[in-house]
């Protein structure tokens, strides 16, 4: 994925979330049953981080998923590879997602959240915009971007 495509995908995902009502959630439309199900998958995935169980977190991902943990990183491909990265990251740190808002349109789900990482160097919190694409009830693509409120 090139920088141009990465920027396009992130901007498109966050732009879709804004169009759905990120700027004015009270005006958002009702979600379809599929959109509700997709939002639930992403919210359950986000909650699973608090368990510290990399296998549980990865269970929400498609086998052929593509994950970019930060907008500036190269993608990690495949659930097995992502699971190994999660295990390494969770080995010495507790990671929790506090979701503030979630928006869905079709197979796209975007959330705005605070990610808190607690490790040997203390606790750090980051505001994050996450963009998720779902296929057959699993996250097939996920990209996070640290945002400054």
Q: What is the CATH number of the domain that holds 109?
A: 3.10.450.50
Is the model more confident about 14 or about 94? 94
The structure tokens 């490790």 sit at: 119
Residues spanned by the domain of 44: 3-146
Over residues 71-109, the pLDDT tens digits come to 999 999 999 999 999 999 999 999 999 999 999 999 999
How many domains are there within the chain? Answer: 1
CB atoms under 10 Å from CB of 138, counted, come to 16
**Whole-prediction pTM value?**
0.80
- In whole angstroms, give the CA distance from residue 80 to residue 86: 10
Per-residue confidence at 27, pLDDT binned at 50, 70, 90?
low
> 62, 140 in Cβ contact below 8 A?
yes
pLDDT digits (tens, 9 = 90+) for 29-70: 899 999 999 999 999 999 999 999 999 999 999 999 999 999
Residue 123 pLDDT class (50, 70, 90 cuts): very high
Under the banding of pLDDT at 50, 70 and 90, the label for residue 1 is very low
Spatial contact of 82 and 62, defined as CB atoms under 8 Å apart: no
Provide the pLDDT for residue 149: 65
CA–CA dist 91, 73 (Å, integer)? 21
Residue 148 has a pLDDT of 79
């Amino acid at each position: 994925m090139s920088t141009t495509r990465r920027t396009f995908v992130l901007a498109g995902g966050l732009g879709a979330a804004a169009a759905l009502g990120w700027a004015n959630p009270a005006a958002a439309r009702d979600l379809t049953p599929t959109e509700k199900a997709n939002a639930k998958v992403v919210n359950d995935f986000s909650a699973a981080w608090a368990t510290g169980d990399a296998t549980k977190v990865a269970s929400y991902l498609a086998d052929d998923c593509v994950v970019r943990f930060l907008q500036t990183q190269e993608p990690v491909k495949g659930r097995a590879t992502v699971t190994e990265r999660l295990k390494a990251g969770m080995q010495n740190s507790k990671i929790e997602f506090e979701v503030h808002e979630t928006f869905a349109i079709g197979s796209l789900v975007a959330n705005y959240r605070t990610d808190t990482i607690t490790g040997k160097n203390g606790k750090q919190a980051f505001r994050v915009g996450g963009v998720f694409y779902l296929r057959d009830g699993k996250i097939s693509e996920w990209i996070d971007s640290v945002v400054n409120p």
